[in-house]
Amino acid sequence: MDLTTSYLGIRLKNPVVASSSPLWESVSNIRALEDSGVSAVVLPSIFEEQLQMEGQHLDRDLARGTESFGEALSYFPVLGNYNLGPDGYLELIRKAKSAVSIPVIASLNGTSRGGWIKYARDAQDAGCDAIELNLYSLVTDPTRTSVEVENAYCDLVRELRSSLRVPVAVKLSHFLTAPANFAGQLDVAGANALVLFNRFYQPDFDIEELEVTPRLALSHSQELLLRLHWVAIIYGRVQSDLAITGGVHTAEDVIKSMMAGAKVGMMTSVFLQKGIRHASSVLADLVRWMEEHEYQSVQQMQGSMSYRSAPNPAAFERVNYMRTLSSYVLASKEPAA
């Protein structure tokens, strides 16, 4: 049974990859991932704001006016304490690379050029096998157009690719008007892989205390559907590898991801829920399903249910919206007497 796949030009022993998470600040946890069978790990993100704070510029801006009233200090996160910081992050890459044999992917969370090119090179020199650029940004400026935003992203990817030896993956938001078009733009810009989709952690309102509060909700398998939809549409239209993250919890989720056209399925929430060793159960279930359905390799299933290969491509189009709603109404009716 051949579980191997290729992602970012790197041969992986199977399609199960650990997505970016603070869990992987611990080298012992990264070792546990390898022992459980995970084929690669994406380290927690280092944020653009942290790099700026390193130079004290953002720190001064955030501190300005905080003494004006008592609650002002609570408006901004203590980014210096979010994770290991820039220097500690590079050391984490070095330690992880010396501790495990699976590929280690650095994650950079930012949208402007600034110090990213230099820091990406530093991460490369620290030994990472690839870099995942996490485009986690909410554009709140009403004067900024979608074209301007997309062009800025593509320029950043283009510059990163021209400055690095290691491959670059781009993690996308699903808040896009035309995901297939933007995927094509990033492909032309040189992205080696596209990761669909980022999960935005939305703040909630505390209506008693009248405060905005953070709210962390772990993913569930139902979230996979949006990812399957767009990977299946984009597959075959770009040269970039495709990865699915968000909603990958079981072997069935991994299989669906492969059939849509992904090279890997990334998971983290399920590790928080069931422990790191859950990966070995997923892989065992994957092998069992492949044996029962007479698959010899993971490559056989990759893209087999994409838009181009699906028996019913119209299921990916808007016409299926009405059909789905109608089928539910019909199914819920009482049988005729």
pLDDT digits (tens, 9 = 90+) for 140-177: 788 989 899 899 899 999 999 999 999 999 999 888 88
pTM of the model: 0.84
We report the CATH number of the domain holding residue 197 as: 3.20.20.70
d(CA 54, CA 329): 58
Q: Confirm whether 314 is domain-assigned.
A: no
pLDDT at residue number 231: 97
Q: Confirm whether 317 is domain-assigned.
A: no
pLDDT at residue number 313: 73
Q: What are phi and psi of 197, to 5 degrees?
A: -125, 165
Question: Over the stretch 46-90, which tens digit does the pLDDT of each residue have?
Answer: 876 666 555 444 445 444 444 444 444 443 444 444 456 788 999
Residue 244 corresponds to which tokens in the numbers above?
A: 């699915």
Question: How many folded domains does the chain comprise?
Answer: 1
Question: Over the stretch 224-281, which tens digit does the pLDDT of each residue have?
Answer: 999 999 999 999 999 999 999 999 999 999 999 999 999 999 999 999 999 999 999 9
Candidate from 23-27, 74-78, 275-279, 302-306 with smallest mean pLDDT: 74-78
pLDDT at residue number 69: 42
Average pLDDT, rounded, for the chain: 85
Q: Confirm whether 16 is domain-assigned.
A: yes
Q: What is the dihedral of CA 230, 232, 234, 238, to 10 degrees?
A: 140
Tokens 């390193």 belong to which residue?
54
| pLDDT band of 120, cuts 50, 70, 90 | very high
pLDDT at residue number 62: 44
d(CA 45, CA 295): 36
d(CA 43, CA 27): 10
pLDDT at residue number 98: 98
Q: Confirm whether 323 is domain-assigned.
A: no
pLDDT at residue number 311: 72
pLDDT at residue number 115: 66
For residue 280, give Cα distances in angstroms to 36, 101, 220, 274, 326. 5, 17, 19, 12, 40
Q: Which long-range contacts (CB under 8 A, 24 or more apart) does 291-296 make?
A: 291/1, 296/1, 296/2
Residue 223 corresponds to which tokens in the numbers above?
A: 């979230």
d(CA 81, CA 170): 26
Would you say residue 114 has pLDDT above 70?
no
| Mean pLDDT along residues 329-335 | 53
Q: Confirm whether 212 is domain-assigned.
A: yes
| pLDDT band of 337, cuts 50, 70, 90 | low
Task: Give the range of the structural domain holding residue 128, as residue numbers without chain letter.
Answer: 5-308
Q: Confirm whether 320 is domain-assigned.
A: no
Q: Regarding predicted confidence, which is higher, 50 or 283?
A: 283
pLDDT at residue number 10: 98
Cis peptide before 197 (omega within 30 of 0): yes
Residue (of 298, 244, 288, 283) closest to 267 by Cα position: 244
Candidate from 106-115, 203-212, 224-233, 240-249 with smallest mean pLDDT: 106-115
Q: Confirm whether 333 is domain-assigned.
A: no
Residue 37 corresponds to which tokens in the numbers above?
A: 């069978």
pLDDT at residue number 335: 58
Q: At 212, which helix (H) or strand (E)?
A: strand 211-213
Q: Work out the percent of the chain whose per-residue pLDDT is above 90.
A: 60
Q: Are strands 193-196 and 204-206 parallel, antiparallel or unpaired?
A: unpaired
| pLDDT band of 323, cuts 50, 70, 90 | low
d(CA 282, CA 14): 11
Q: What are phi and psi of 145, to 5 degrees?
A: -85, 165
Q: Regarding predicted confidence, which is higher, 314 or 251?
A: 251
